């Protein structure tokens, strides 16, 4: 394979990578179930209507005080557009009163093993 062909393959692989973000959210004591109900209601409200979304996963700690949310979008622009969506901003306001702390960051896949 020529260097030009290798570059084209590398560019195609790079452009196929999703824009990933992870949020680690600590819920205020005694508010976990209320937070989860809000989160599920928000999911139902937006399901199938968010352009560029590839998917998401929400993991909850067994102590029911922390969640980890992983989301994947086709592009960083799709992710940013969702963050500006009035439905998402409204959800943040409602859920914010139940959150002790939140750390959100954009990440890249380093490797994967199996299917989760």
Domains: count for the chain: 1
Q: Is residue 54 part of a domain?
A: yes
Q: Is residue 12 part of a domain?
A: no
Q: Is residue 92 part of a domain?
A: yes
Beta bridge partners of 26: 66, 101
Domain boundaries, position 28:
18-107
Q: Is residue 29 part of a domain?
A: yes
Q: Is residue 3 part of a domain?
A: no
Q: Is residue 1 part of a domain?
A: no
pTM of the full predicted structure? 0.78
Radius of gyration (C-alpha) of the chain in whole angstroms: 17
Q: Is residue 48 part of a domain?
A: yes
Q: How far apart are alpha carbons 40 and 24 in whole angstroms?
A: 17
Q: What is the CATH number of the domain that holds 37?
A: 3.30.70.100
pLDDT per position in the chain (116 positions), as tens?
Answer: 666 655 554 455 455 789 999 999 999 999 999 999 999 999 999 999 999 999 999 999 999 999 999 999 999 999 999 999 999 999 999 999 999 999 999 999 999 999 88
């Amino acid at each position: 394979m020529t260097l030009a062909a290798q570059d084209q393959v590398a560019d195609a692989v790079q452009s196929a990578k999703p824009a990933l973000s992870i949020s680690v959210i600590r819920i205020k004591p005694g508010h976990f179930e209320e937070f989860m109900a809000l989160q599920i209601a928000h999911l139902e409200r937006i399901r199938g209507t968010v352009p560029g979304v590839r998917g998401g996963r929400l993991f909850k700690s067994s102590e029911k005080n922390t969640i980890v949310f992983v989301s994947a979008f086709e592009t960083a622009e799709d992710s940013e557009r969702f963050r500006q969506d009035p439905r998402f901003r409204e959800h943040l306001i409602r859920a914010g009163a139940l959150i002790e702390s939140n750390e959100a960051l954009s990440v890249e896949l380093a490797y994967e093993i199996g299917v989760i």
